[in-house]
Structures are given as C-alpha cells and as structure tokens.
Amino acid sequence: MNTRYIKIALALLSLAGYMQNIAFASEYAPATISSNEEDKQQLATNTEEVKEQSDSTSEEVKEELSPTLEEVKEQLASILEEVKEQLTSVIGEVKEQEPISPEEVKEQEPITPEEVKEQAPITPEEVKEAEDVMDEALDLAKKHVKHTKNYKIYHKEDDEAILYFKRVNFIDIGKLELTIHNPDSYDGIVNMLWDPNGPKNYDHLFDTGSFFRTYNENLAIIQQHYNGPEGKWNLYCHTLAKKFQLSEDETAIVFASSDISGPGNTYERYENPIVEGASIFKPDIYSENYIINGKLSQIFVNLMAFFIKKEADCVKITHISSIDYDAPLYVPQDLLKLLTSQKMVNVIKLREIFKKE
C-alpha cells in the first residue's frame, strides 16, 4: 500500500479522535484549576492582604488556563484547515486505493501457533534476549511510574481516576492512577490485562489479539489489531509482553515494541526511544497476508505497563503508556496525545466491570 495513503488515514483518524474527545479536552483546564485552588486554600493565611493576592492570582490563572468550549472549537477548526491543506495535495493519488475493511480482515485465516512454530523455531538465545529486553522495560516502567513534578493533570474523572502526562525527550508519557473498590477482583484484573483479547472488554476500537510467539507462560510477543473510528481503516502492533510477579499482592504487566517492522509503516528500522535494548531485538516472525501486503498501518509501543496492587479494601492500578503512531510531521502532537489519552481513559471502565456486588 502507498505509504502516503497510510499517513493520510492516520491523520484522519487523529482528527476523528480529536472531534470525539472535544468535550473531554475541555475538561482539562477546570481540573487543573481546581487543583490550583486547593493548593491556594491550604497555603492562604488569615490576613486580608494575602487573601486578596490569592484571589487575584486565582482569577489570572482562570483567565490563562480555562479555554471555553468555543475556544476549543476554534482551535479544532484551525487544526482541521491546516491538515486539510496538507492532505489535499496527495489525496488524489490514493483515491482508488481502499483500506481493508474489518470484514476482509476477519475473512483472512490467521497463522496458527503451530504454523508460527514451524516457520520460525524459537532458540534459547532468542528467549534470553527477550527476557533481557523486558527486564530493562520493567526497570524503566518502575522509574516512570513514580510521580514527579513533571507529570501534569490531563484528565480527572474523580479523585480515584486521574490521568497525567509528562514529556520526556519529545516523547509523551501518560500515567493513569485508578482505584477499584473490590479487593477480590485482583486475579480477574490481572488475567484480563494479560489476555491479548482483554481490551475487548473496555476499548470499543479493539478488534482481535493473540499470543503470536510464546516463549513461556509469562513472556510472549503479542499481536493486536485495532479499528479506526467508524471502521474506516485498521492498524496493528507487535509488542513484547511479560508478566512479573512482584510480590504476593502485586503484579506488573509490561509491553514494549522491538524492531519488528512490517509493510504498514514508514520506518526502515524502528528504534525504541525508551527501551534501548528493544531496538536490537529482531526475531523472525511471519504475519498474516493482510499485514504482509501492507493492508494495515503499524504502530509501536515505546513503553506500556500496568502495576496492579491488592490492598485490604481495594485494588490499585497504575498504568503508563507511550505510543508511536508513525504519524507524518504535519499531524499535531496534541492530537496524537488525545488518541493515547482516549485509550488510557478506557481503562477506567474496569471499575464498572469489577465493581463489588
């Protein structure tokens, strides 16, 4: 498939995601302001002078950080026009090329685990390399899961479901802190998050997933397919995944993409900007025909992790995520961040799935 077409499709997906989340985006500033006001209430003294200064500062912050819905709409319109201009010059070249439909994907026969094993035998060296990559990924996930001043509130559902983002070396990393008041749900949550098809329960754009290459019961390469909004196009990713038993009551599930490049991306060689060891791990794998023929666009997981901890009266989940959409330069980074944030916010649905009866 024409790689420029893939970029166009991705840009359109980004815009669609932005429009779907416009109300979500408008909630960001109020959540941040609320936090600022709480800080001011804690710091204010009884003197009238300090009170006046606090009120004045609060108003200035509100004026600076509280975009109205109309302002957000104006920003969207401006971005739409900018991207449309970029798309117009190339859209004519690819009108005749239609993306594969979800129905076509389902008609394709996936490669079975037995066929994969026959085509590419797993060596002890490959298993060791995969283990090393994921051990590095866990160490980095533990680092980024710690809350630092670099993390800023992006969306606050309530006091027990808060999404933050930080930017490190031009890469966005999101962190979701979630509490589920059902300690008995610990095993069920771990099993769902480890299941390659688990996202079907909370992500409406998820299509299918599989353990594509299994090294052991806790280490594998996972392949997952996602649909674009309204099913107009599809994408996929390959990620190394490992489940770590940190203690009797805590589990970490970590994901990272390595240099498993396919026809549906523009990289000659993918280099993971967070997990450096993943960049030199390149196992021989064989994908389905619709991937081989470039029918799907490929995305990469720089680093993703779930830390699930069982406590006396609840289960606490800390989820971090950084995704590379292989997007053209003219797609604004804020739109790509919105795509990642939407996927992360979907995880909050676990509260409803595992609510205590």
Please state, in angstroms and rounded to a whole number, the distance separating the CA atoms of residues 123 and 4: 37
Q: What is the pLDDT of residue 39?
A: 44
In tens, the pLDDT along 301-325 reads 999 999 999 999 999 999 999 999 8
Indicate whether 356 pLDDT > 50: yes
Task: Tally the domains of the chain.
Answer: 2
- For residue 201, what is the domain's CATH number? 3.30.530.20
SS3 content of the chain, % helix, strand, coil (to 5): 45, 25, 30
Residue 240, H or E segment: strand 234-247
Q: Which helix (H) or strand (E) covers residue 138, if one does?
A: helix 124-145
Claim to verify: residue 125 and residue 68 sit in the same structural domain: no
Question: Could you read off the pLDDT of 254-300 as tens digits, one per residue?
Answer: 999 988 755 444 556 788 999 999 988 988 776 665 454 556 778 89
Q: State residue 92's pLDDT score.
A: 44
In this prediction, residue 66 carries a pLDDT of 44
Same domain, 115 and 219: yes
pLDDT of residue 8: 42
- Helix ranges (H only) for 249-311 are 289-292
pTM beyond 0.75: no
Q: Does one domain contain both 187 and 246?
A: yes
Paired tokens of 190: 């771990």
One domain, residues 163 and 50: no
- Name the domain boundary from 44, 68, 94: 94
CB 22 within 8 A of CB 72: yes
| Span 204-244, pLDDT tens digits | 889 999 998 999 999 999 999 888 765 555 778 899 999 99
The residue among 54 and 260 whose pLDDT is bigger is 260
Reference 176, options 18, 348, 337, 314; nearest CA is 348
pLDDT of residue 85: 55
Domain that holds residue 206: 102-353
Q: Are residues 306 and 247 in the same domain?
A: yes
